């Protein structure tokens, strides 16, 4: 397998973190420079179908894009530790919180960074109002996660799952625009400290 990666983009970090949690080190990593447009070349588009990173190319030539879909596939190849659910109930709960992390935190924070960080002006036409509204929305959403983390060690289960990876990598990425959870959200702060201290966190940077 080959993972087409970019250390300048937030979503590939999810996959690197996931692989590190699994202890999987037999996936070939191919760096793609998005600032040079390498994700838009005819060769890459023929392989991935979209100008997106990450992309996982399987040995039979099948290419999977979308970071959560890639991690679902990798879960079947490296089943332990389990990060998507042991049974129907747990799988549904993890899916629910992963989607909430994606929609309420990750997407707004990525849009905020994209529309406000000077280095990203080369990739898109920035609209400051988009950055402001999305950062505010993510800030409000953190209260939901704080309540959840007051009753659970991690977001979706008693262990790290895909939901935690999606949420934490988004918050950490938003440090680029000095976004940080408010100190009064003590449960989010405790969880973030635990995520930051995990050995797999180093694989994501």
Residues whose CB falls within 8 Å of the CB of residue 176, separated by 6 or more in sequence, listed in order = 113, 117
* Residue 87: strand, helix, or coil: coil
User: Above 90 in pLDDT, residue 121?
Assistant: no
* Closest to 131 (Cα-Cα) out of 113, 119, 118: 113
What pLDDT score does 22 carry? 97
Q: What residue ranges of the chain are covered by domains with CATH 3.40.30.10?
A: 2-77
User: What pLDDT does 117 receive?
Assistant: 82
Mean residue pLDDT across the chain? 94
**pLDDT score for 23:** 96
Instruction: Report the DSSP pairing between strands 28-31 and 2-5.
Output: parallel
Query: Of 114, 117, 97, 113, nearest to 167 (Cα)?
Result: 97
**Could you report the per-residue pLDDT of 58-106, keeping only the tens digit for each?**
999 999 999 999 999 999 999 999 999 999 999 999 999 999 999 999 9
pLDDT at 205: 59
What band does 125 get if pLDDT is binned at 50, 70 and 90? confident
Answering whether pTM is above 0.85, one says yes
Confidence class for position 53, pLDDT limits 50, 70, 90: very high
pLDDT digit string, tens, across residues 8-20: 788 999 999 999 9
d(CA 114, CA 130): 9
**Can you tell me the distance from the alpha carbon of 135 to that of 190, in angstroms, rounded to the nearest whole number?**
21
Tell me where in the chain the CATH 1.20.1050.10 domain(s) lie: 88-198
Is it true that domain 2-77 has CATH number 3.40.30.10? yes
- Calculate mean pLDDT across residues 138-162: 98
Confidence tier at 126 by pLDDT (50, 70, 90) = confident
- The reply to whether CATH 3.40.50.1100 applies to domain 88-198 is no
End-to-end CA distance of the chain: 21
Q: Tell me the mean pLDDT in the region 110-117.
A: 89
157, 153, 150, 144: which is closest to 100 by C-alpha? 144
């Amino acid at each position: 397998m080959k993972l087409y990666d970019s250390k300048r983009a937030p979503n590939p970090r999810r996959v690197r973190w996931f692989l590190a949690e699994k202890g999987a080190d037999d996936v070939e990593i191919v760096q793609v420079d998005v600032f040079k447009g390498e994700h838009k070349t005819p060769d890459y588009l023929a392989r991935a179908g979209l100008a997106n990173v990450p992309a996982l190319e399987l040995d039979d030539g099948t290419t999977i894009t979308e970071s959560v879909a890639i991690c679902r596939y990798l879960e079947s190849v490296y089943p332990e530790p389990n990060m998507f659910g042991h049974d129907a109930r747990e799988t549904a709960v993890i899916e629910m919180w992963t989607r909430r992390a994606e929609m309420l935190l990750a997407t707004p924070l990525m849009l905020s960074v994209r529309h406000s960080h000077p280095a990203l002006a080369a990739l898109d036409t920035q609209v400051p109002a988009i950055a402001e509204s999305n950062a505010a929305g993510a800030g409000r959403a953190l209260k939901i996660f704080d309540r959840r983390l007051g009753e659970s060690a991690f977001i979706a289960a008693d262990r790290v799952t895909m939901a935690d990876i999606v949420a934490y990598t988004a918050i950490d990425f938003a440090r680029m625009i000095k976004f940080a959870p408010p100190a009064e959200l003590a449960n989010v702060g405790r969880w973030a400290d635990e995520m930051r201290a995990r050995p797999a966190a180093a694989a994501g940077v």
